[in-house]
Structure 1
Amino acid sequence: MSTFFSTTRSVDVYRAAWRWHFYAGLLVLPFMLILAVTGAIYLFHNEIDDYIYRDIKTVTAMSGSPHSHNSIVQAALAVYPGKALRYVPPASKSGSAEVDIKGAGGDVMAIYVDPYRGTVLGSMPNRGTVSWTIRRLHSLAYFGPIANGMIEVAAGWCILLVITGTYLWWPRQKTLSLEGVLKVRGVSSQRVFWRDVHAVTGIVAGVLILFLAVTGMPWSIVWGDKVNQWANGSNFGYPAGVRVSVPMSDEHINHVAPVAWSLEQAKTPVSAMHVHAASDAAMPMQISLDKAVSIFDQLGLAKTYAINLPVTATGVFTGAVYPNDLTKQRVVHLDQFSGQVLLDMSFADYGPIGKGLEWGINVHLGQEFGLANQLLMLAVCCAIVLICISSAVMWWKRRPTGMIGIPPLPANRHALKVVFILLMVGGIIFPLVGISMLLMLVLDYVFVIRRNSAD
């Protein structure tokens, strides 16, 4: 055993790592391209949507007072009858108001209203913007849960790609040279040029690619869901430290509106039933939307907050905001009859795991550090595209005619087993990746190793 580990740079270990690096790349290359391209676009989703929908998202400010929030909702309902589910007050003097309405057919439409003139500027399907389309493409949500699960597999294999790629890149000459390590050799017609482009780009961007893969995992349908349940498994899904001493419903916040990762398991509290003073009968009197907006403003919720409207007798007004600045993330629930604050929660209330993952997600989205964050993540996305292209080109130049060109097996099969065992550690942490690795191992044995043994 000591002899084996003393020759960890031997051709056998190198070939074993190369073989699994090849398999990983073969499996995830198309997914990596999709993730990189759609991710690069989504980094600028606010800028894109603000430009494309500027005719309905912006207005010309007037000197007079804007219409009441109640009347804005009524103006939207007059154009699109149904049940108002969500209201987004104007974030600035030149911003329009948004009212999300569920129509008779069950479709939810976003109606944009000029707050000064009370006129409807336009509408679109809820989450029907270009940025939401790009986001769903990024997660392959358009193509069902199986395709969405492949994103988790791709992210997991990407982690293994970075690890094995780093080993393959590691200089083995006793005299260190920058050639092929940090400097590209040859010209574009040569395979060595594309090999060096692939290796140098990978090692320069490797840490950030690893960061994107890890921070993308919280959205995955298996690993992310289980970790979310574990991280937020108590207090009705609310982060540790938040006292939940009010009655809770069975409705999750994320069923009605986008929420931060740490709140995906969170349920909403319920409003108490009040008796109207002028009647002997139970007549609940809901506070007005204007009153709810006034309370949220007094509480200091950051502008761009949205309000989920109560749609049942025990529902609540929920003000939620998830701005670029994590410290301003906040969710507040109000009793719909008294306006009492039932639960007020901010980023400071999240547990250590929630805070860490939320920070990673925010950087992943290019939001935490403004334009610099966007440009850095854009550079990483471009690097991923270049890595994918260079890998395809150098494979094409290397492969034998009419063959796939799988890297040769190591003479010492123990090297292949040891590399596989090390990679399986990642497969245990990420179950879908582990399943795909076992499948690749079976295919490798049946179609390649067994056939070679027979020959």
Structure 2
Amino acid sequence: MSHPSASRPAMRQRAQDLYRAVWRWHFYAGLIVLPFLISLAITGALYLFHDDIDRWWHADLMTVEARQTATVAPSAQRDAALAAVDGEAFRYVPPADATRAAEVDVTRPDGSRVAVFVDPFEGEVTGQMPYRGTVMWWVRQLHSLSLFGNEASMLIEIVGGWTILLVLTGIYLWWPRGRRGGVVSVRARPGKRVFWRDLHAVTGLFVGGFLLFLAVTGMPWSTVWGSKVNELANGHNFGYPDGVRVNVPMSEERLAERETTTWSLEQAQLPTSEAMTDAGAAAPIGLDRAVAIFEAKGLAPGYAVNLPSGPAGVYTGSAYPDDLSRQRVVHLDQYRGEALLDMGYADYGPLGRGLEWGVNVHMGQQYGVANKLILALACAGIVLLCVSAAAMWWKRRPAGKLGVPPAPADPRRLRGVLALLAIGGAIFPLVGASMIVMAVVDALVRRRGAARRAVSV
């Protein structure tokens, strides 16, 4: 029978091999995501304050002088916009407060779209810009990489999955194991590698949870995984419980084609209006009456009204305020003014409510200023995490080499780690595909290193 002390070196070797295997994949994850994480953190922190920044940047268009006088009718505001821009109005956004201009979105004959801003008190146009042409919309597109096309936005899904791996492996590497320094305190000075190692570890301790939350809650927007979860959430009457939707004929037009909508309603179809009644052909209620109905129903300030897209179209009032409990979508028959659909957050199923809560917190909306400030600090911490990782790697790597952490002496430790990674890869297909590529690269790197060592011997 072997003595217990004889097995201690073997146990230490197994622990060291496992540590090296985890460290190696933590390095690969960082190599892939660090540049993207810096961009995501900076653009995400800016977008937390998108409303304030847009109002300041585009103040000449969006801001008006508050008055005690009544506003002109919504139809008059729409007509003023159409007098300035030739085309067809498809969306009207009433002012959220007395200092804001109304927005009328117009499709030009050439198919381009323009946002026209109108002083609601005077009925005069304050200016125009391309539809979704604000500086913060550009930042949002940069954040999601959709600015560079749908193919580029797939990278966000890959980055999100690798970020989850980065956090989980980072927790393992940070674990004290009887060590005191570099756990919650930073040793040495900036010139030393140990300073950057400790700064990276301690920063990761405090922002790792936020980074994991942001990666997970950002996945619903992803191209492959997000679309599949969307189908699952909306698979039964678009994720709405039985009895929420009235029995009306549905068109082939999607709500997301007309309006930037909440994630769980992107696949929702629009109802159709009925022009014929028992008394004969009905006349449209018009924009003024539609807005009055939405106001009477108590839609939260800042809601948007999508105008009917033809004789069978509907008026859609949609409100996505910071408070999820006030999130709401109402479709009105354009002839009778009846609500064909009136749905709020409370009507979503458990999956939809959970996903919407995650998205709302991710965007810094759910808990007011505190939500924004905490996430802004977390974004600053993420940038520091990335910078410290780069500095630590730069000081550690051999001259002229990439500095991949050493492979474990027993390759089976890598297989165990890869088995765990395969689970995540099965959940996130694009991430799984990238992991296969990375595993092949790692095998080639290890084989090349083994060949060099054989030659040197």
Same fold (TM over 0.5): yes
1:77-123, CA deviations, whole angstroms, 9 ceiling, x for partnerless residues?
00101110000112222221110000011111110111111110001
Q: 1:72 to 1:383 in 2, by over 3 A?
A: same
Structure 2 gap ranges (5+): 1-6, 453-457
**Which residue matches 1:452?**
449
- Check conservation: 1:428, 1:434, Cα contact below 8 A: yes
Aligned AA for 2:187? R
The equivalent residue for 1:105 is 110
How far off its partner does 1:453 sit? 3.0
Correspondence for 2:43 among 34, 38, 44:
38
| Alpha-carbon distance between aligned partners in 1 of 2:12 and 2:273, rounded to the nearest angstrom | 68
Name the counterpart of 1:240: 241
2:72 pairs with 1:70: no
Match of 1:130 among 135, 139, 144: 135
Q: Matched residues in 2 for 1:259 and 1:9: separation? A: 52
Residue 349 of structure 2 corresponds to 351
Query: Corresponding residue for 1:303?
Result: 301
Which residue, 311, 317, 320 being the options, matches 2:318? 320
Q: In the alignment, what sits opposite 2:393?
A: 395
TM-superposed deviation, 1:336: 0.4
1:181 aligns with 2:183: yes
Distance of aligned partners of 1:15 and 1:166 in 2 relative to their CA distance in 1, 3 Å threshold:
same
2:331 aligns to what SS in structure 1? strand
Deviation at 1:379, TM superposition (A): 1.0
Deviates more, 1:8-17 or 1:76-85: 8-17
The code of the aligned residue for 2:428 comes to F
Letter of the structure 1 residue corresponding to residue 416 of structure 2: V
Q: Which amino acid aligns with 1:420?
A: L
Residues 142-175 of structure 1: CA deviation (Å, up to 9, x unaligned): 11222101111001000000110000010112xx
2 CA distance for matches of 1:239 and 1:131?
A: 31
Between the aligned partners of 1:36 and 1:116, the Cα distance in structure 2 is 40
Letter in 2 for 1:415: R
Q: Which residue of 2 aligns with 1:383?
A: 381
Following superposition, the deviation at residue 284 of structure 1 comes to: 4.3
Structure 2 residue aligned with 1:15: 20
The residue identity in structure 2 corresponding to 1:60 is E
- Give the Cα separation in 2 of the matches to 1:332 and 1:169: 50
| Residue aligned with 1:307, SS | strand
What percentage of residue pairs aligned between the two structures are identical?
54
Assess if the C-alpha contact under 8 Å between 2:233 and 2:239 holds in 1: no
Offset of residue 7 of structure 1: 6.2
Residue 431 in structure 1 maps to residue 406 in structure 2: no
Distance across 2 between alignment mates of 1:108 and 1:398:
53
CA contact (8 A) 2:239 2:352 kept: no
Q: How far, CA to CA, are the matches of 2:314 and 2:13 in structure 1?
A: 62
Deviations 1:368-427, CA, capped at 9 Å, x for gaps = 111110011011111110111111111110001111010011001111110111122111
Provide closer, same or farther for how the CA distance between residues 309 and 8 of structure 1 changes in structure 2, counting only shifts above 3 A. farther
Does the CA-based 8 Å contact 1:112-1:122 persist in structure 2? Answer: yes
CA distance in 1, matches of 2:272, 2:94: 23
- State the alpha-carbon separation in 2 of the partners of residues 232 and 413 from structure 1: 44
Query: 2:334 is matched with which residue?
Result: 336
Matched-pair contact (CA < 8 Å) for 1:274–1:285: no
Paired residues of 1:88 and 1:97 also in contact (CA < 8 A): yes
Within 1, Cα distance between the matches of 2:67 and 2:388?
55
Q: Is the 8 A contact 1:276 1:284 kept in 2?
A: no
SS for the counterpart of 1:245 is coil
One-letter amino acid matched to 2:255: I
**Which residue number corresponds to residue 227 of structure 1?**
229
* Contact persistence 1:102–1:109 (CA under 8 A): yes
Letter in 2 for 1:402: G
Aligned partner of residue 106 in structure 2, secondary structure: strand
Is the Cα contact below 8 Å between 2:239 and 2:349 reproduced in 1? no
Q: Which whole-Å CA distance do the structure 1 matches of 2:93 and 2:278 have between them? A: 29
- The Cα of 1:272 is off from its aligned counterpart by 0.5
Which amino acid is 1:230 matched to? L
Per-residue deviation, 1:276:
9.9
Corresponding residue of 1:193: 195
Pair 82,186 (structure 1): closer, same or farther in 2 beyond 3 Å: same
> Which residue matches 1:374?
372
The whole-number CA distance in structure 1 between the counterparts of 2:187 and 2:431 is: 35
Secondary structure of the equivalent of 1:286? coil
- Alignment partner for residue 55 of structure 1, among 52, 60, 66? 60
Query: Which residue of structure 1 aligns with residue 3 of structure 2?
Result: none
**Distance (whole Å) between structure 2 residues aligned to residue 83 and residue 283 of structure 1:** 24
The code of the aligned residue for 1:88 comes to: V
Distance 2:142 2:172 in 1: 32
Q: Which amino acid aligns with 2:408?
A: P
Aligned length in residues: 444
Distance 1:164 1:51 in 2: 42
Q: Distance in 2 between matches of 1:62 and 1:147?
A: 46
C-alpha displacement of 1:27: 0.8
Instruction: Give the unaligned 5+ runs of structure 1.
Output: none
- Are the equivalent residues in 2 in contact too, given 1:238–1:265 (CA < 8 A)? no
| Structure 1 SS opposite 2:311 | coil
Specify the code of the residue in structure 1 equivalent to 2:371: N
Rounded to whole Å, the distance in 2 between the matches of 1:238 and 1:246 is 17
C-alpha contact (below 8 Å) 1:239/1:262 kept by paired residues? no
2:276 corresponds, among 267, 274, 277, to 274
Q: Can you list the C-alpha shifts for 1:315-340, whole angstroms capped at 9, x where unaligned?
A: 00000000000000000000001101
2:141–2:147 Cα contact (<8 Å) kept: yes
1:202-221 map, 5 Å: 202-221=204-223
